[in-house]
Structure 1
């Protein structure tokens, strides 16, 4: 069996999780398994007997991992063949699109002007001009070019057959940026003190630039800190406030993001960094090799968002094949993405690249729990996008319903290191209902969960995803929180999770590094997952009795853990009580070199943590005394 796991790791897991190639076409092919089993969706499919399994049992189970999750259905068919936890099929509202009129944008065409009619011969020069004239059932086709602007849709569509579409022309490379290039205005920075411990002033070169010539349009991120209005969960120690009090603006040099420092004197110790003066109107930079910025491409990120309506609640908008970069947005909450549905519903975001967002790349929900929720939230489709280099959260949404998130590649999220705000993740959705998250690859996350479903989720299914290399996280691969109704986590591969360092005013100890966490949630089906190399439990349950969600506290009961494979995890299953089910799971003995009697984590044992003291059980005791995993 171990031979086959290692082959799977070499052939499937390593290329997906540990390759830094962004080959999107190969990614898509990997993520298109066949349709789901109805029996699996109800959590009733029985597996092989629980034992130290043979190689063929592992092979069959692994093939099922990649074979039952379901592939995307063609537009207009509606049915997906995938059942939700309540037994109903997930049905899409999407229909084939035909447009009554097409506008064109081409800023490289010498005849382009926003005073033009927007035809192919006389195109607009900006996308935002098209956004002001588009009507329901119309589209804009954008030609190759770099567009430094904020696109502010004025209208939405009126139905699934009357959408408004923003799309790149076939084969075009369309890049929309929230930054401005600054070539001139740089001068040596000599007025501030470097401090006694760094190199002498003559040994380094720091440059400064005033920002008065930039058109901030009322939003200067170099004068605004990262924190926004809702600080209810922010209880840091003073030294943990640093990332929250840095400025939102970002600086890129030759495509590489500079690190922001808190004090000017830190520039003496760090190349590739910048510092903002108190008023946000002067920045100081030290480039790698002490280079002169006048000889490089320097981009200053000044926009909060790149594609977002100002009018909330616009519906039936499609965004297709466009690359978005550079958003100087703040830490959620509110969730204000570089690309934002602005509380609208029935959006399609597909085949796009979203990267270099200070906080959130994409938001598709109600944005803010301090606002009255819209009558209809979500009903969106997010597919085949590549989201990367994001400070806090890749995809965010509150109150999201009937939404499909599939075949996305999300990576390099969480570098702001603010997990204690509890809004970090590759995907972070609140209060989902009837949602399907499938066939996504989420990798290379730091201080962030792979997929986080937060608070009163109902009949949502997370299936066929590959999640790995989530390091330094207080959670892990998938985190289901405070949900009393059935949800399902199945056919996922979760590989490598390490614990976060804890902290906060309550001196939270280091913890996390779990594969799947079920926190104060009931009736969850966790089935047919392959989980390996987690620092702590492959599947962790916590009761959270004192948190009143809806009308009661959490119980963490009636959950089913069925037909999973555990490989080299600190623990296998950690139940918070005995009122749960484990059946048909496969365990390995290859847990490492732990021999110390007082060291229980690292042996792959099953735990029952409450009532204290915790019981730490091998498979034989697990079966004999509690009746778990007998089949």
Structure 2
């Protein structure tokens, strides 16, 4: 019997949950809803951690939680505080008994875990005034001063990075916790916190099952905000503000997700597969513990049948301290599309190696497409075991870096994207196909010979072998590279000296003096590079047979007009005379190490015939992600 439960701020948890007699809390509905049921939540602010008690049973018998049509429903991990005591003209304090927080006090818990690099005493707590978060400082004296200079050096570029919004740094807070009480001090300046909406986050998550195996759940149409989420490396539990935990088949759609201390939406992993062992034991590199995490997950049944296959679509995700979307192992076979992700990790209050708008490990067969990602410390970071992964038709701008692919052997596809950061691409992987992109910005290409990582049987979590990243085995077709004064290494010339076919590579390996395996370390893997355009100083691979190389300055811009985003580019007169092929499984050489073809997740042939605007391409088209680019000035809407 399929049931519909209703939740309302006017309801009672002792009622029967009908439309006429709704429940008061979402958790009450979550305790009784079973496979096939729907929970409709009516307008209001719900301050609770929704913890589903029952799973759906299939794609067709899922449990759906949705906001009532046309009604604004907000679920918060915070509590409103209106008992502040004034200390001087702008500094206030509040004393809260520790039992108020239960067994999880965010003002005692610090940002901690594997790969945290910079954390000057920051806690998981947060103070909000009318929806805007403050900055935590290290001393009470700084609260009275009323401002924080929040600058740091970016690990990858070596450049000093200022706080994203220096005007906000005057709103600061500080905490002290003793055996009985938590005291929070904050500088509200001209505001009286007892007369405004003043909140502090208290709960770890907002919509996240505490138990694993809560499969086939849909969460639709909510505003989800203000959670004290912990740091989420790949070697620890990864609770997000919302997420499926270690489950299968969730759909998270049409939500606004914001103000998570660390991660917004999480697709896994589970605590039982490892918990910050590098930070706790310090006896071997985190890399080794991450390998152990993969094997531990396999022992526990990590497979398509048990975890992953999630859909994350049409969400707006912003103002999160670490990641907009995160996942390790639990993100396999998923689809992430049409999300607007921005303001991720830009407050610069803490830093580590697991920060991005989207940060996924082991994203096997995961498809990431049609997303708008901007004003992030890093746009997308895909790390380990990229196999069958595809990043398609995304736009990146105003990020410190746009895209990072790391220690993976492929095959993975990066196609029809626009990358615009001064630091556009980190490629520390092999076995990729980069097709029909615009790349304006620095490109870094590195080998990773000291970190062998797993690769898999096609479309499976079954481990086939391990390999370091030798560099190369990449394909670059139909891309537009745009250089700019002051930005170095734009283009494909970093592959100079690489072989250009598997046959040449094999011949060179067997002509090289050395042991069986040693010879493979000395010869550069093949690369397949052709039919690209290089403008304004971008440099081409020296063995590319057919290309455009021109000093022409395209005067490239990506213009953000709020709900709409436009590309502006001025292309040379001969641009439309140079056409590129539509690439597919049949034209992209198999990946050498994994011995796997470029395919769709279902094993069918992949055909890269759909441009950034979802226009189908018939035969050869102009280079780049937009098939309607033309010679001369172009202004084309790419979002909205």
Same fold at TM > 0.5: yes
Q: Are the aligned partners of 1:490 and 1:526 in contact in 2 as well (CA < 8 Å)?
A: yes
Q: Are the aligned partners of 1:366 and 1:377 in contact in 2 as well (CA < 8 Å)?
A: no
1:30 corresponds in structure 2 to: none
2:111 corresponds in structure 1 to: 226
Provide the aligned C-alpha RMSD in A: 2.4
1:583 corresponds in structure 2 to: 530
Superposed CA offset, 1:423-447 (max 9, x none): 111111111111111101111113x
1:346 corresponds in structure 2 to: 249
Residue among 467, 470, 473 paired with 1:552:
467
2:206 corresponds in structure 1 to: 306
Moved over 3 A (4+): 416-420, 605-608, 618-621
Are 1:572 and 2:473 counterparts?
no
Are 1:210 and 2:95 counterparts?
yes
Are 1:527 and 2:435 counterparts?
yes
Measured in 2, the distance between the counterparts of 1:419 and 1:580 equals: 38
1:101 corresponds in structure 2 to: 3
Cα distance, 1:430–1:263 mapped onto 2, change above 3 Å: same
Are 1:491 and 2:416 counterparts?
yes
Q: Are the aligned partners of 2:143 and 2:172 in contact in 1 as well (CA < 8 Å)?
A: yes
1:228-377 → structure 2 map (5 Å cutoff)? 228=113, 231=114, 233-234=115-116, 236=117, 240-242=118-120, 245-270=121-146, 271-279=170-178, 281-289=182-190, 291-333=191-233, 334=236, 335-367=238-270, 370=274, 372-373=296-297, 374-375=301-302, 376-377=306-307
2:24 corresponds in structure 1 to: 125
Q: Could you list the runs of 5+ residues in structure 2 that have no partner in the other structure?
A: 147-169, 275-292, 455-465, 499-525, 543-547, 552-577, 581-640
Measured in 2, the distance between the counterparts of 1:461 and 1:630 equals: 23
Q: Are the aligned partners of 1:392 and 1:418 in contact in 2 as well (CA < 8 Å)?
A: no
Are 1:479 and 2:414 counterparts?
no
Are 1:451 and 2:380 counterparts?
yes
Measured in 2, the distance between the counterparts of 1:547 and 1:388 equals: 33
1:50 corresponds in structure 2 to: none
Q: Are the aligned partners of 2:382 and 2:405 in contact in 1 as well (CA < 8 Å)?
A: yes
Query: How far does residue 581 in structure 1 lie from its aligned partner after superposition?
Result: 2.5
SS of the residue corresponding to residue 470 of structure 1 reads: coil
Residue among 518, 527, 548 paired with 2:427:
518
Cα distance, 1:367–1:428 mapped onto 2, change above 3 Å: farther
SS of the residue corresponding to residue 215 of structure 1 reads: helix
| Residues 204-213 or 269-278, more deviating | 204-213
Are 1:422 and 2:324 counterparts?
no
Measured in 2, the distance between the counterparts of 1:630 and 1:316 equals: 45
Q: Are the aligned partners of 1:435 and 1:459 in contact in 2 as well (CA < 8 Å)?
A: yes
SS of the residue corresponding to residue 456 of structure 1 reads: coil
Q: Are the aligned partners of 2:119 and 2:351 in contact in 1 as well (CA < 8 Å)?
A: no
Residue among 456, 462, 469 paired with 2:398:
469
Greater relative CO, 1 or 2 (CA 8 Å, sep 6+) = 1
Matched residue count: 451
Cα distance, 1:557–1:531 mapped onto 2, change above 3 Å: closer
Superposed CA offset, 1:535-567 (max 9, x none): x23xx3211222222333211222011111122
Measured in 1, the distance between the counterparts of 2:379 and 2:192 equals: 39
2:627 corresponds in structure 1 to: none
SS of the residue corresponding to residue 129 of structure 1 reads: helix
SS of the residue corresponding to residue 329 of structure 1 reads: coil
Cα distance, 1:214–1:299 mapped onto 2, change above 3 Å: farther
Residue among 393, 416, 437 paired with 2:323:
393
What TM-score comes out, normalization by structure 1 length?
0.68
